[in-house]
Amino acid sequence: MASNDPEYLLGELKHVDPTLLKHCHVAATTSILEISKHNADKSTLSTFLEECKFDGKRIDIFYSEHQNSHVHKVNQPAYLITLNVEIKGSGSTDDINFSCTMEQLQDLVGKMKDAAKSLEKETRT
């Protein structure tokens, strides 16, 4: 094993095929996302986890953890923005990534239009 291997490969799981671990991780993540996406109640979740061979105690633990860390629906779009900016004097560029709501995006567009108008006025003078 290389020194830059993930921690899980150094512990109890070091004898498990890394590809199999990745597939298991993807399956678990996908299941959790689907459960959250469909806002599954406890009985639906229990049925699903029983089919996955979870015992009652693990189902209860999973459900309580899911409920404690579950993000409530906002029902509002979020926009992921990437601005490619040029670093003054260097000629190189950098990306600025952020997310915003519709109102924040509209505010940003308004401010950018104002900045463009100001630059236009300055270049005419």
What is each CA distance from 106 to 70, 81, 101, 111, in whole angstroms?
Answer: 29, 13, 9, 9
How confident is the model over 85-95, as a mean pLDDT? 86
Contact 16, 24 (CB under 8 A): no
Comparing CA positions, the residue from 124, 117, 77 lying closest to residue 101 is: 77
pLDDT value of residue 1: 47
pLDDT value of residue 117: 93
Neighbours of 4 (CB within 10 A): 5
* pTM metric for this prediction: 0.40
pLDDT tens figures, 16-48: 888 888 888 888 888 877 777 777 788 888 888
| Side chain identity at residue 12, one-letter code | E
If you average pLDDT over each of 5-19, 83-97, 108-122, which comes out highest? 108-122
pLDDT tens figures, 39-87: 778 888 888 888 888 888 988 888 887 777 655 566 677 888 888 888 8
User: Is residue 106 scored above 90 in pLDDT?
Assistant: yes
